[in-house]
Structure 1
Amino acid sequence: MFSDSRLQDYVAVILGVFAALSPLWLDTNDAAMWSLIVLGVLVALSGLAQIVRPSMAAIDYAMGVFGVLLFLSPWVMDFTAYNGASWTAWIVGVLTVVVAVAALPVMNARMHGGGLATHH
């Protein structure tokens, strides 16, 4: 069950938990608070899902989408005036995308010396 877990999946869980809990110590409005909580929980859950089922590449793509949404949320949800919440969303969003890209099967194959596998 946990035999093929990768470091980036644990990093995603940490990033998601950090984002979800950050309204506890950051000055936010309702839009910032719920954006950070919901997207943070989704990032953490996608990391947990990858820990349990590392072969499900779709979760890596979903994680990347959640990271992009988190990055865009200060503008879309109009909370750029809240610097701490905005910077948290931007930084955690970018890091989540980086983690998701690093977790993609093609990237893993390249990083571990393998090429693109052909299906027989």
Structure 2
Amino acid sequence: MFTESRIQGAVAVILGAVAALSPLWVTVNDNARLSLIVLGVLVALTGLAHLAKRAGIMADYAMALFGVLMVVSPWVMGFDGLSGAAWTAWVVGALTVVVAVTALPQVSGRLHTATHH
């Protein structure tokens, strides 16, 4: 059975895999390739930690940080002109932040309480 944490973990693994593998189908330069692969792998690893039930709150914060870094990476790493790579980073990064924030216990608890009242 999938719990909220396991669903969030699975989504994070998928998001990380999409980012890490995206240089196969979008035009990238060296900076875009490095950013997407490294941050994608880090997101996927935090998702795997959730799936293995080894994730604590620090993994949620790390996932959120990796998502934010992915969102800003096109500007910081200079690939905002490569639309496919930039949009991949922006969308996957933003979705990663959403997944990470919903995994935080205080947010998850409030969502759980709101749906049962």
Following TM superposition, the consecutive aligned residue runs of length 4 or more in structure 1 with deviations greater than 4 angstroms are 2-5
Alignment of 1:80-119 (within 5 A): 80-113=80-113
- How has the CA–CA distance of structure 1 residues 102 and 54 changed in structure 2, closer, same or farther, with 3 Å as cutoff? farther
TM-score scaled by length of structure 1: 0.88
Superposed, 1:1-120 pairs within 5 Å as 5-53=5-53, 56-113=56-113
Structure 2 contact 46–55 (Cα < 8 Å) conserved: no
The unaligned stretches of length 5 or more in structure 1 are 115-120
Going by fraction, where is helix more abundant, 1 or 2? 2
Amino acid at match of 2:46: S
Amino acid at match of 1:79: F
One-letter code of the match for 2:11?
A: V
Question: Which structure 2 residue ranges, 5 or more long, are not aligned?
Answer: none
Question: How many residue pairs were aligned?
Answer: 113
State the superposition RMSD in angstroms: 1.7
Specify the SS of the correspondent of 2:113: coil
Which stretch has the larger CA shift, 63-72 or 102-111? Answer: 102-111
**Aligned partners of 2:54 and 2:107: how far apart in 1?**
14
- The 3-state SS of whatever aligns with 1:111 is helix
- Largest Rg, 1 or 2: 1
Identical columns (%): 59
